[in-house]
Structure 1
Amino acid sequence: MQVRRTIAAALTAASLVLAAGCGSDDGGSADSGGSGSGDKGAVSISGQNFPEATLVASMYEQLLDSLGYDASVKLVGTRDVYMAAGQFPDGIQVVPEYVGGLVDFLNATANGADAPSLTTNDPAETIAAVQPLLDDKGITLLDPSSATDQNAFFVTQQYAEDNGLSALSDLEGTSVVLAAAEDCPGRSDCEGGLTKVYGIDVTKVLPLGFASDQTYRAVLDGEAQLGLTSTTDGTLADQGLVLLEDDKGIQTAQNLVPAVSTSWIADHQDAADALNQLMAALTTEKLTELNGRISVDREQPDAVAKDFLTSEGLLQ
């Protein structure tokens, strides 16, 4: 799971529940542009507080508002805040999630940190493996999107052109310095996978952070040849950086997916249908472009969300 999703939170589950009934806050827009009257009742959306999650939560909020719900958003630091004891606290109905991250969390919560992994690089297979835990916790996963936010590795455009690189397997037998998160060494989705699966000679890991300014700069300055980011990083093109394809699949499925309260969604099929339509409309390429509008062009997440929903015919 990516580092930005595991930073320790100072908030508690109790404070989240108290705040869940409030209007839009950190991640939500007070004026979402939705046309709904709220006559279908309140819907509380939670999730993790980083830019992409803020964007997707705003999409959920505006979409549900347009159906006549009174949706509000409260984003927090880490998954364990809104999933105390591995389930949603009372008062939370919808969470924008990532398949692999959620499955890893539920598995560790139920079976311990050393439990065998249930995740693969196939989202349907991964969801099927965790279904008994979802049923037990009263959580339903709607349709996963093809849009996936996985760990990914980048090089400079010039380095790729000079060495004929388009995929990580093109680096087999090559010695590189890797700029990455502090927990990268040994991980199967980071240094461990690059070494064991791809046969890349990682001579050193610079612990400069996940998609941090220092990581970008290390690669741009030639201090490192390879850097760690995500598949939906919208800043790469502007920096002259490119992703290398994970052609041997060392990353687990991190497809976007709506996680919803089973008891709530049973009585709100229109919400399920709308969220499924949104997941079908999103792709990794589209999500990367939308992220770039926020991180590079400095547009507001709620405005970008509204523009996307309108352009896809999901919001009138």
Structure 2
Amino acid sequence: MPELAGVELTVGSKDFSEQLVLAYLAEFALSAAGAKVRDLSNIAGSNSGRDALVTGQVDLMWEYTGTGWISYLGKEDPIPDDAAQFEAVRKEDLARNGIVWSLMAPLNNTYAFAMSRKNAERLGIRTMSELAKLVKEQPQEGTFCLESEFASRNDGMPGVQKTYGFEPAPGNVKLLGIGPIYQAVANGGTCNFGEIFTTDGRVLALDLVVLADDRNFFPRYNASVTLRKETAAAHPQITEVLRPVAAKLTNEVVLKLNAEVDVDGKDPAEVARDWLVREGFVRLP
């Protein structure tokens, strides 16, 4: 990409594995296109990462549509459609803050409920509506492990119960940290159902079954490339380079990449580079 030759670009990210992998994917792809890329990944906290983008400390970073809509634009009601949510965030963030949302990946890192495969087969459920029916008919099976924040937020358990019309029996909700929830669900003793994130590598590693949100309650959190409008206008080739990469980032792909980091202990940069090479986006010297 001759137009990017020698162009200095700083890529930022938040401080968890998926964000680190996404940042390195952008960095390696843009470097291969000729840009001089500076790594400013691993910024602690969503607001700090956003501030770094807005103030020009970083030129681009991957962000999530639900985070943009709810946290940065202050909206209370998410839009239950990936493309419509992206378009709404894109228009308003550009008008209000001069931030361009240039690409949206299929990857949707949102909340969900999961159960062990053994329990899924035993209880015969695959959707949240079936879960609600189970809780009503067999309340002793409706045991949940949740984070304390998720247990009280409108886009968490209270909203789930309202949307799907069920209420766990007293004592059937246990509050745990997000890490222990995955293991508790996999073991199936403490709880049959647990709050998880759809692209967390532990879903794959522990062979958890994710229940379909068949009433589209949970907000959409599609990963998207964001950059300031000045950067987007000066270097439209950034979008050209990253478009085919973003298009291949499905939940299934990113689950495996996250698992390589969080379960296998690989370095996020190595995971990102190897995937780009396997997919033919980058050639090693």
TM over 0.5: yes
Task: Considering Cα pairs closer than 8 Å and 6+ residues apart, tell me whether 1 or 2 has the greater RCO.
Answer: 2
Aligned with 2:147 (options 181, 201, 204): 181
- Aligned match of 1:140 in 87, 90, 100? 100
Query: How many angstroms apart in 2 are the aligned matches of 1:200 and 1:223?
Result: 20
User: 1:1-316 residue pairs with structure 2 within 5 A?
Assistant: 39-74=5-40, 75-84=42-51, 88-108=54-74, 116-117=75-76, 119-130=78-89, 131-173=91-133, 174=135, 175=139, 176-203=142-169, 204-210=172-178, 212=179, 214-219=180-185, 220-316=187-283
Change (3 A) 1:217 1:82: closer
How many pairs are equivalent?
271
Distance (whole Å) between structure 2 residues aligned to residue 196 and residue 118 of structure 1: 15
Partner Cα separation in structure 1 for residue 96 and residue 162 of structure 2: 36
Displacement of 1:188 in angstroms is 3.9
Structure 1: 5+ residue stretches without partners: 1-34, 109-115
What's the CA shift string for 1:219-249, capped at 9, x where partnerless?
3141111111111122234324221111111
4+ runs deviating over 4 angstroms: none
Contact 1:82-1:89 within 8 A present in 2 as well: no
**Equivalent pairs: percent with the same residue?**
24
The structure with more helix, counted as a fraction of residues: 2
What is the TM-score with the length of structure 1 in the denominator? 0.79
Aligned-pair CA distance for 1:269: 1.8
What SS class does the counterpart of residue 40 from structure 1 fall into? coil
Describe the shift of the 1:170–1:137 C-alpha distance in structure 2 as closer, same or farther (beyond 3 A): same
TM-fit CA distance, 1:308: 1.3
User: How far 1:106 sits from its partner (Å)?
Assistant: 2.0
Structure 2-normalised TM-score? 0.88
The CA distance in 1 between the partners of 2:207 and 2:95, in whole Å, is 46
Does the CA contact (< 8 Å) of 2:151 and 2:158 recur in 1? yes
State the Cα distance separating 1:299 from its structure 2 match: 1.7
Which consecutive unaligned segments of at least 5 residues does structure 2 have? Answer: none
SS in 2 for 1:128: helix
Deviation string, structure 1 residues 155-213 (Cα, Å, up to 9, x no partner): 11111101111112111231322211111224343212331122333234322122x1x
